[in-house]
Amino acid sequence: MALGSATLTMTVLMTPDKANFSGNVHGGTLLKYLDEVAYACASRYAGNYVVTLSVDQVTFRQPIHVGELVTFLASVNYTGNTSMEVGIKVITENISEKLVRHTNSCFFTMVAVDETGATVKVPKREPSTPDEIRRFANGQQRRAIRAELAERYKALEVRKG
């Protein structure tokens, strides 16, 4: 299996149809774009269809306004056997004011599946640059935290049953 690119960049113009009642871009609209970017990045890397397993640490740092360009910078940070962590940084550009801001960040866990919905192995991520190595290590830590939380949740469900 050929290894696809581990990064993806997508830029979208925020038009009036994406606004909420306060005139800013609706958070749900942004979440939809984030999911699409995570899908595109992970599926290209894995060479398979992928599904979203979880979304972690969605941080809305600043509002995004209608008329701004929004660039999504996605990277496969960490791979397990069948899953991948995709980190996404959102950069917003106000064209008329020449102002660039970091407005959002988040992490998606995506799982590769075949046409029957069964999970499939993904290519192992081999970080090489200092940024990739840092992201990989942070991805390992987040994965361990997610696993611990899942175990705690299972223990609670057993007690309730």
Q: Could you state, in order of their start, the residue ranges of all structural domains in the chain?
A: 7-125
What residue spans of 9-129 are helical by DSSP H? 27-46
Cα 112–120–10 angle (5° rounding)?
25
Q: Mean pLDDT for the chain?
A: 91
Between CA 118 and CA 99 the distance in angstroms is 45
Q: What is the mean pLDDT of residues 87-106?
A: 96
Q: What is the mean pLDDT of residues 3-32?
A: 93
Question: Is it the case that residue 21 has pLDDT exceeding 80?
Answer: yes
Q: How big, in percent rounded to 5, are the helix, strand and coil portions of the chain? A: 35, 40, 30
DSSP-derived pairing of the beta strands 49-60 and 83-94? unpaired
Give the per-residue pLDDT at 96.
Answer: 93
Give the per-residue pLDDT at 2.
Answer: 44
What residue spans of 71-129 are helical by DSSP H? none
| pLDDT class of 108 with cuts at 50, 70, 90 | very high
Q: What is the mean pLDDT of residues 79-93?
A: 95
pTM of the model: 0.86
| pLDDT class of 1 with cuts at 50, 70, 90 | very low
- Highest-confidence segment of 25-39, 52-66, 135-149: 25-39
Give the per-residue pLDDT at 132.
Answer: 85
Q: What is the mean pLDDT of residues 126-142?
A: 86
The residues, ordered by sequence, that sit 6+ positions from 148 with a Cβ below 8 Å of its Cβ are none
User: Which token pair is 102?
Assistant: 């970091």
Give the per-residue pLDDT at 140.
Answer: 83
pLDDT digits (tens, 9 = 90+) for 36-85: 999 999 999 999 999 999 998 898 999 999 999 999 999 999 999 999 99
* 7-125 topology per CATH: Thiol Ester Dehydrase; Chain A (3.10.129)
